[in-house]
Structure 1
Amino acid sequence: MTTADTDAHVSFAANEARFYLHELFFSRTDARGVIQYGNSVFQRVSDYSWQELIGAPHKIIRHPEMPRGAFWLMWDKIKKREPVGTYVQNRSKEGLFYWVYAIVTPMDEGYLSVRMKPTSDVFSLIKAEYAALLAREEEEQLTPERSAEVFIERLDALGFPDYESFMAHAARQESKARSKALKKPRDEAAFIFSTMTNALRTVRRTGEDIVRQFEAIRSTPLNMRIQAEQLGDQSAVLSVISMNYTTLSDEIYERIRVFLDSSDTALEKIRTGLFLSCTCSLQKELLAQFEREEPLDNGLSKEEEVERLQKQMSDYRLESDNALRSISNEAERFIFNCVCLKRILSGLNMTRVLSQIEVARIGNEAQSMKSIISQLVDFQANTRECLNLIERESMVIRQGVRQQIADARQETLAAS
């Protein structure tokens, strides 16, 4: 099935501009948002002539049903020279609407916006959220900044702790849905990043399990010490053992807390890497489409624009590679911490064995301690199982990074 065959099945509303699934379009603006360049798809869908577009503010295509908070979020990021992904409803010169998923990146002194037609489930969700947000803006006279805050609150309620998490998820889902509809090969880079994200989520959940298990038995070594003191001098060794047990288990607990904090950092880096990977793929496809176009009748140099797009793609490939190196460091840190935790757990196991030997030596008077030791045995077994799982998932992350780096290197060699 060709892209034309696929798009032949796409239906449009009566008041919707024809923007097809296989198409991508871009516009480049200066720092104020004034249009400097674009491709033929942008001109056709907007329905303005080049004379009307070049030098005009980008808001010439703004749709009145777009909430101002969405634009506030976009400008807040790009003014900081950060890339952003966002859903936008535009309006053509004739008043027809068209939706895009846009990835906007700083370029020279201005910005580059690359757009695809959105089709994922996330898009359906966001259309409803935008409508609700627009209604609140009008009813409550929200400022753009306050509207943005309301939208972020809604995203949090939907499971996205910050806008960056939402951007990475939306970029991945739109790319995935588009590739599936167009019968394109799977985006391996995005797939690997998604695999790493799932692995890291497992790492975090497992770390939280260890914390919960520790808190459940936190008082157990103290109970052992109390009972040992009740047995008198003959159980002095048990008191020392219980204190050692407390020290070692506290060390595991503290390391796991640090581990959980670092997992938040790692997840942020993986999400950044995923978004940058989707950005690179979109820019690469856009460049290929643009190079096939005939020179535009806008009086500007297509060759110079191709060079700008090539440089932009190269710059973001470098950004993506840097993100990979950062993720690699986090994965190695996870694996190292697992090794350290297992060493501490081995010390805990030795302490538990010594306590069992001491209880057997004391005899019947120490029988009450067997249930306490049983709790410690269960805690150690569960913790070891959790650490093994964390180590396996950390290796999945490391392997994902290595595969990405190898693929990027192969792509660079092929390009040269």
Structure 2
Amino acid sequence: MADDNATRPAAAPGRNAEFHISELFFSRTDHRGVIASGNAVFQRISGFTYEELLNAPHKVVRHSDMPKAVFWLLWHRLQKGEPIGAYVKNKTKGGGYYWVFAVVMPITGGYLSVRLKPSSKMFEKVQGIYKTLRDKELAAPSEITPEASAQDMIARLKQAGYPNYVAFMAAGLTAELMSRDKIGGKPVDDRLEAFDTMSRAVGEIFAEANALYADFRRIEQIPVNLRLQASRCEASGGPVSVISANYSNLAREALAFAERFTDFGQRVLDEISLGLFMMGSARLQREMTAAFRAEAALESPVDHEREMALLSAHMKRCGEMARSTVTRIQEQCENFIDDSRRMRRFISGLDVTRVTCRIETGWLPDDDGGFHDIIDKLDAFHEDVERRMKRIDALNDNIIERTTTLLNRPARRNPAATAAQ
């Protein structure tokens, strides 16, 4: 198929420049974005000669349909030394166009971009977002800055279910690689699937942690109501007032600790998104290196041996970065086991206080059923908390198992989670 494409003429104005789903291409630029190198697929699809591409700014292939938001985000991350993935519509020399998913990373002396053909359902949604952003930019060019447009884009991605841009670019690369595998008849990539499973598990932890925090906020008023009810019983209600005050203090500490659970969920979700992106990037670099090795016999002004060395070194670096991210995820999840145990100690203290409160209120008059209603609410709260904690522990244990498989190392299991399974 690649041979057929090699003889295909450049796309006519306004037409899509077709290339095969299996083809990958790359370009390398300096820190200013000036093209220093590229492979034969890039040269052929763009329609420019090597002489026209080399030493030209990369914007020579920039299409006017692209929102400025994307390029602002791209340079914002690259200048901080961070990788980025983005859907990009490029133009050909003949006025045609072609879409790619680009993975761009800082390297010594500049940046390296490896690109593949997008084919997923996610790609279709992104085109709609891009058109909306670009229409707004063109309608008010003096009012909407590239940075403002980028913030608009991030807000739209959040509405679509992506908490931040890293989560979006990780999901995009994963979707494209999996779609590419399916079209090519390849088996499911186990590593990408493992990350996808971890991402969903952390999403559930985040949801349960937020619900746990909300539960603690809802019961803040219960000890106050208990003291008010006890005050109606004059001196005999004194012990209940003391118990409810103790419960209130413990619940306040548990609430502060519950907030740490939500922070953990966000931190690990960010790490998993980055790890997923780096895992996909490492795989893409391996394929790109193999594809470029096959171009050795082609005539071009590109120093093939030098570029091969750069690609190979970058492929290794991506793999190391992916593994490092997986290690950080596992370490955070193992630390979370200690946080979970501390949280359970708070809950145990609350539970003892609740039982004591039930015993003490049993001796007091309850003509209006006030004590009964309050204790029932505490019982329901404790049932919810226990259910959420078991679920959080089990999900965290599942993530540790996945990272263990990826790293091929022993895992530290949470006894509470093991018992809950």
Do these two structures clear the TM 0.5 threshold for a shared fold by scoring above it?
Answer: yes
Match of 2:130 in 1: 130
1: CA distance between counterparts of 2:55 and 2:225? 77
- Written as runs of structure 1 = structure 2, the 5 A alignment for 1:123-162 is 123-141=123-141, 142-162=144-164
Report the Cα offset of residue 106 of structure 1.
0.8
1: CA distance between counterparts of 2:299 and 2:32? 24
Change (3 A) 1:238 1:80: same
Count residues in correspondence: 400
1: CA distance between counterparts of 2:302 and 2:369? 90
SS of equivalent residue, structure 1 residue 315: helix
Match of 1:410 in 2: none
Match of 2:379 in 1: 377
- Does 2:396 align with 1:404? no
2:393 to 391, 394, 397: 391
1: CA distance between counterparts of 2:351 and 2:319? 48
Match of 2:274 in 1: 272
1: CA distance between counterparts of 2:239 and 2:267? 43
Match of 2:53 in 1: 53
- Written as runs of structure 1 = structure 2, the 5 A alignment for 1:137-216 is 137-141=137-141, 142-216=144-218
2: CA distance between counterparts of 1:366 and 1:233? 19
Match of 1:412 in 2: none
Match of 1:38 in 2: 38
Report the Cα offset of residue 67 of structure 1.
2.3
Preserved CA contact (<8 Å) 1:295 1:302:
no
Match of 1:121 in 2: 121
The one-letter code matched in structure 1 to 2:209 is: G
- Does 2:101 align with 1:93? no
**Structure 2 residue runs without a partner (length 5+):** 5-10, 410-421
Preserved CA contact (<8 Å) 2:157 2:163:
yes
SS of equivalent residue, structure 2 residue 297: coil
Match of 1:307 in 2: 309
Match of 1:349 in 2: 351
Match of 2:228 in 1: 226
Report the Cα offset of residue 380 of structure 1.
0.8
SS of equivalent residue, structure 1 residue 219: helix
Preserved CA contact (<8 Å) 1:46 1:61:
yes
Report the Cα offset of residue 364 of structure 1.
6.2
1: CA distance between counterparts of 2:21 and 2:43? 16
Report the Cα offset of residue 154 of structure 1.
2.6
Match of 1:106 in 2: 106
With structure 2 as the length reference, what TM-score do the two structures score?
Answer: 0.89
Q: CA RMSD in A?
A: 2.3
Preserved CA contact (<8 Å) 2:250 2:350:
yes
The one-letter code matched in structure 2 to 1:62 is: R
The range that moved more, 397-406 or 378-387, is 397-406
2: CA distance between counterparts of 1:121 and 1:75? 26
Report the Cα offset of residue 26 of structure 1.
0.7
2: CA distance between counterparts of 1:96 and 1:364? 81
Summarize deviations over 1:227-284 as a string: whole Å, max 9, x none.
Answer: 2232132332222211121122222211101221222122111111111111111111
SS of equivalent residue, structure 1 residue 16: coil
2: CA distance between counterparts of 1:290 and 1:91? 23
The range that moved more, 131-140 or 376-385, is 131-140
Preserved CA contact (<8 Å) 1:207 1:259:
yes
Match of 2:418 in 1: none
SS of equivalent residue, structure 2 residue 106: strand
With structure 1 as the length reference, what TM-score do the two structures score?
Answer: 0.90
Preserved CA contact (<8 Å) 1:296 1:302:
no
Match of 1:8 in 2: none
